[in-house]
Amino acid sequence: MKNTAGRHSAQWVLLVAVFIIATCGLIYELVAGTLASYLLGDSVTQFSIIIGVYLFSMGIGSYLSRFFKDHLLEWFIRIELLVGLVGGFSAILLFLVFPLAFSFQPVLYALVGVTGILVGIEIPLLLRILKDKVEFAELVSRVFTYDYIGALLASLIFPLIFVPYLGLIRTSLFFGLLNVGVGLYLCRYFAGEVRGVRAIRFGGVLILIAEVAAFIFSEQIMSFSETLAYNDHVVYSTSTPYQRIVITKNRHDLRLYLNNNLQFSSADEYRYHEALVHPAMGASGLARNVLILGGGDGLAAREILKYKSVRNIQLVDLDPVMTKLFTEQDILAEINRHSLKDPRVTVTNADAFIWLKENKKQFDCVIIDFPDPSGFAVGKLYTTAFYRLLQTAMTRNAVAVVQSTSPYVAPKSFWCVNETLKASGFQTIPYHNYVPSFGEWGYIMAYKPNDFHLPVTFPIEKKYISEAVMEQMLQFPDDMLAHGPVEVNKLNNQALVNYFEKEWGKYLEQ
Amino acid sequence: MKRGEFIRLTAGMAVVAPLVNACDGQKRNAAKTIPGKIVGASAAAGHLLRDHAFNPPSEFETKEVVIIGAGVSGLSAARHLVQQGIEDIVVLDLEAHPGGNAASGGNAFSKYPWGAHYVPVPNNNLTDYLAFLEDAKVITGYDQAGLPVYDEFFLCHDPEERLYINGHWQEGLVPNFGLNAVQLAEFKTFFKFINHFKNLKGADGLDAFSIPVDTSSRDESLRALDRVTMKEWMDNQNLSSEYIRWYVDYCTRDDFGTPFDQVSAWAGIHYFASRKGKAANAQHNDVLTWENGNGFLIDELRKLLDGKINTGALATSVKTSANGVKISYLDVASRQLKGLEAKHCIMAVPQFVAARLLSDTGRGKALAGHFHYVPWMVANLTVKELHERSGQPASWDNVIYGSPSLGYVDATHQQVQQRKERRNLTYYLPLTHASPEVARREAYRAEHAFWAEKVLSDLQRVHPDIREQTERIDIMLWGHAMAQPRPGMVHGDVRKTLANSIGNAIHFAHTDLAGVSIFEEGFYQGLNAAKKILQQS
Ligand SMILES: Cc1cc2nc3c(=O)[nH]c(=O)nc-3n(C[C@H](O)[C@H](O)[C@H](O)COP(=O)(O)OP(=O)(O)OC[C@H]3O[C@@H](n4cnc5c(N)ncnc54)[C@H](O)[C@@H]3O)c2cc1C
Q: Does A508 touch chain B (CB under 8 A)?
A: yes
Do the domain assignments include residue A320?
Answer: yes
Which of A165, A199, A228 represents a domain boundary (last residue)?
A: A228
Longest Cα–Cα distance of chain B, Å, equals 88
Is the per-residue pLDDT at B521 higher than 60?
yes
pLDDT, one tens digit per residue, over B401-412 is 999 999 999 999
- Which of B153, B286, B416 minimises the CB distance to A354? B416
What is the torsional sign of CA B49, B55, B56, B60?
negative
Give chain B positions within 8 Å (CB) of A386: 416
The per-residue pLDDT for A385 is 96
The per-residue pLDDT for B7 is 38
The per-residue pLDDT for B151 is 97
Of A400, A495, A404, A262, whose CA–CA distance to B158 is shortest? A495
Q: Using the mean position of ligand 1's atoms as its centre, give its distance from the Cα of residue B271 in Å.
A: 18
Which of A228, A245, A266 represents a domain boundary (last residue)?
A: A228
Cα separation of A446 and A420, whole Å?
Answer: 11
**Residue A370 three-state SS:** coil
Task: Please give the C-alpha separations between residue B289 and each of B112, B147, B282, B376, in angstroms, as whole numbers.
Answer: 11, 19, 13, 21
Residue of higher predicted confidence among B334 and B30: B334
Cβ–Cβ gap A257/B6 under 8 Å: yes
Cα separation of A497 and A495, whole Å?
Answer: 6
Cα separation of A206 and A212, whole Å?
Answer: 10
Structural domain including A343 reads 279-509
Among protein residues, the one with the nearest Cα to ligand 1's atom 38 is B349
DSSP state of B201: B
Q: Does ligand 1 come within 6 angstroms of the Cβ of B86?
A: no
Q: Does A423 touch chain B (CB under 8 A)?
A: no
Q: Does A212 touch chain B (CB under 8 A)?
A: no
pLDDT, one tens digit per residue, over B457-513 is 999 999 999 999 999 999 999 999 999 999 999 999 999 999 999 999 999 999 999
Q: Are strands B60-68 and B336-347 parallel, antiparallel or unpaired?
A: parallel
Strands (E), B159-284: 161-165, 168-171
The per-residue pLDDT for B29 is 44
Q: Using the mean position of ligand 1's atoms as its centre, give its distance from the Cα of residue A265 in Å.
A: 59
Cβ–Cβ gap B157/A164 under 8 Å: no
The per-residue pLDDT for A230 is 52
Q: Is B163 exposed, middle or buried (0-12, 13-18, 19+ CB in 10 A)?
A: buried
The per-residue pLDDT for A99 is 54
- Which residues of A are annotated as catalytic? 369
Of all atoms in ligand 1, which is nearest to the CA of residue B69? 34
The per-residue pLDDT for A245 is 86
Q: Does ligand 1 come within 6 angstroms of the Cβ of B115?
A: yes
Task: Please give the C-alpha separations between residue B276 and each of A121, A487, B126, B285, in angstroms, as whole numbers.
Answer: 82, 23, 11, 8
Smallest CA–CA distance from A503 into chain B, residue: B4
Q: How far is CA A59 from the centre of its chain?
A: 35
The per-residue pLDDT for A196 is 82
Q: Are strands B506-508 and B336-347 parallel, antiparallel or unpaired?
A: parallel
- Cβ–Cβ contacts within 10 Å for residue B406, how many? 22
Is the per-residue pLDDT at B45 higher than 80?
no
- Which of A216, A242, A257 minimises the CB distance to B419? A242
| Same-domain check for residues A405 and A289 | yes
Q: Is A507 exposed, middle or buried (0-12, 13-18, 19+ CB in 10 A)?
A: middle
Q: Using the mean position of ligand 1's atoms as its centre, give its distance from the Cα of residue B400 in Å.
A: 26
Cβ–Cβ gap A492/B152 under 8 Å: yes
Q: Could you list the pLDDT tens digit for every one of the 510 residues in chain A?
A: 344 445 567 778 878 888 888 888 889 988 888 777 666 656 677 788 899 999 999 999 999 998 988 888 888 899 999 999 999 998 888 877 765 544 677 888 999 999 999 989 988 888 888 777 777 777 778 878 888 888 888 888 888 888 777 878 889 999 999 999 998 998 888 888 888 888 889 999 999 999 999 988 877 666 555 544 455 566 677 778 888 888 887 767 889 998 888 999 999 999 999 999 999 999 999 999 999 999 999 999 999 999 999 999 999 999 999 999 999 887 889 999 999 999 999 999 999 999 999 999 999 999 999 999 999 999 999 999 999 999 999 999 999 999 999 999 999 999 999 999 999 999 999 999 999 999 999 999 999 998 888 888 898 899 999 999 999 999 999 999 999 999 999 999 999 999 999 999 888 876
pLDDT band at B15, cuts 50/70/90? very low
Cα separation of A370 and B424, whole Å?
Answer: 27
Is the per-residue pLDDT at B25 higher than 80?
no
Cα separation of A504 and A375, whole Å?
Answer: 12
Q: Using the mean position of ligand 1's atoms as its centre, give its distance from the Cα of residue B325 in Å.
A: 24
pLDDT band at B31, cuts 50/70/90? low
Q: How far is CA B24 from the centre of its chain?
A: 39
CA distance B8 to chain A (A): 6
Q: Is A44 exposed, middle or buried (0-12, 13-18, 19+ CB in 10 A)?
A: exposed
Looking at the structure of chain A, the number of domains it has is 2
Cβ–Cβ gap B418/A242 under 8 Å: yes
- Which of A260, A353, A497 minimises the CB distance to B416? A353
Q: Is A246 left (phi over 0), alpha (psi -120 to 50) or beta?
A: beta
Q: Does ligand 1 come within 6 angstroms of the Cβ of B77?
A: no
pLDDT, one tens digit per residue, over A254-301 is 899 988 889 999 999 999 999 999 999 999 999 999 999 999 999 999
Which of A228, A245, A262 represents a domain boundary (last residue)?
A: A228
| Same-domain check for residues A302 and A188 | no
List phi, psi (to 5°) of B90: -145, 145
pLDDT band at B16, cuts 50/70/90? very low
Which CATH number is A324's domain given?
Answer: 3.40.50.150
- Which of A231, A265, A378 minimises the CB distance to B418? A378
Instruction: Let me know: does B500 contact B61? Beta carbons within 8 Å.
Output: no
CA distance B155 to chain A (A): 6
Fold of B185-278: Guanine Nucleotide Dissociation Inhibitor; domain 1 (1.10.405)
The per-residue pLDDT for B9 is 39
HEC per residue, B478-497: EEEEEECCCCCCCCCCHHHH
CA distance B15 to chain A (A): 9
Instruction: Let me know: does B355 contact B364? Beta carbons within 8 Å.
Output: yes
Q: Using the mean position of ligand 1's atoms as its centre, give its distance from the Cα of residue B72 in Å.
A: 7
| Same-domain check for residues A290 and A185 | no
The per-residue pLDDT for A223 is 58
Instruction: Let me know: does A229 contact A41? Beta carbons within 8 Å.
Output: no
- Cβ–Cβ contacts within 10 Å for residue B437, how many? 11
List phi, psi (to 5°) of B66: -115, 130
Cβ–Cβ gap A260/B419 under 8 Å: no
Instruction: Let me know: does B417 contact A318? Beta carbons within 8 Å.
Output: no
Cα separation of B238 and A395, whole Å?
Answer: 63
Of all atoms in ligand 1, which is nearest to the CA of residue B357? 41
pLDDT band at B17, cuts 50/70/90? very low
| Same-domain check for residues A198 and A301 | no
Cα separation of B266 and B288, whole Å?
Answer: 25
Residue A337 CB contacts under 8 Å (≥ 6 apart), including other chains = A302, A305
| Same-domain check for residues A206 and A284 | no
- Omega before B159 cis (within 30°)? yes
Cβ–Cβ gap B9/A508 under 8 Å: no
Q: Using the mean position of ligand 1's atoms as its centre, give its distance from the Cα of residue B350 in Å.
A: 8
The per-residue pLDDT for B19 is 38
Cβ–Cβ gap A490/B281 under 8 Å: yes
Which CATH number is A36's domain given?
Answer: 1.20.1250
Cβ–Cβ gap A219/B20 under 8 Å: yes
3-state helix, strand, coil in chain B (%, to 5): 35, 25, 40
Q: Does ligand 1 come within 6 angstroms of the Cβ of B315?
A: yes
| Percent of chain B whose pLDDT exceeds 90 | 88
Q: Is B183 exposed, middle or buried (0-12, 13-18, 19+ CB in 10 A)?
A: middle
Cβ–Cβ gap A492/B153 under 8 Å: no
Cα separation of B114 and B98, whole Å?
Answer: 12
Do the domain assignments include residue A70?
Answer: yes
Residue A250 CB contacts under 8 Å (≥ 6 apart), including other chains = A231, A232, A233
Of all atoms in ligand 1, which is nearest to the CA of residue B428? 1
Size of interface A-B (CB pairs under 8 A): 103
| Same-domain check for residues A222 and A285 | no
pLDDT, one tens digit per residue, over B335-348 is 899 999 999 999 99
DSSP state of B101: G
The per-residue pLDDT for A163 is 77
Task: Please give the C-alpha separations between residue A165 and each of A171, A288, B484, in angstroms, as whole numbers.
Answer: 9, 57, 52
Is the per-residue pLDDT at B115 higher than 90?
yes
Q: Using the mean position of ligand 1's atoms as its centre, give its distance from the Cα of residue B100 in Å.
A: 4
Task: Please give the C-alpha separations between residue A101 and each of A96, A449, B432, in angstroms, as whole numbers.
Answer: 9, 56, 64
Of all atoms in ligand 1, which is nearest to the CA of residue B72? 25
* Domain boundaries defined on chain B: 185-278
Task: Please give the C-alpha separations between residue A191 and each of A9, A10, A480, in angstroms, as whole numbers.
Answer: 15, 12, 74
Cα separation of A116 and A87, whole Å?
Answer: 10
| Same-domain check for residues A205 and A296 | no
- CA-based Rg of chain B, rounded to a whole angstrom? 24
Do the domain assignments include residue A391?
Answer: yes
Amino acid found at B331: D
List phi, psi (to 5°) of B126: -85, 75
| Same-domain check for residues A440 and A348 | yes
Q: Does B6 touch chain A (CB under 8 A)?
A: yes
Do the domain assignments include residue A396?
Answer: yes
| Across B407-431, average pLDDT | 97
Q: In whole numbers, what is the pLDDT of chain B averaged over residues? A: 92
Cβ-count burial B392-402 (b if 16+ within 10 Å, e if not): bebbbbbbbbe
The per-residue pLDDT for B5 is 40
Q: Does B331 touch chain A (CB under 8 A)?
A: no
- Which of A166, A439, A494 minimises the CB distance to B158? A494
Smallest CA–CA distance from A354 into chain B, residue: B417
Give the strands of the sheet with B38-39, arranged side by side. B38-39, B470-483, B373-383, B423-430, B408-410, B397-400, B161-165, B168-171
Is the per-residue pLDDT at B227 higher than 60?
yes
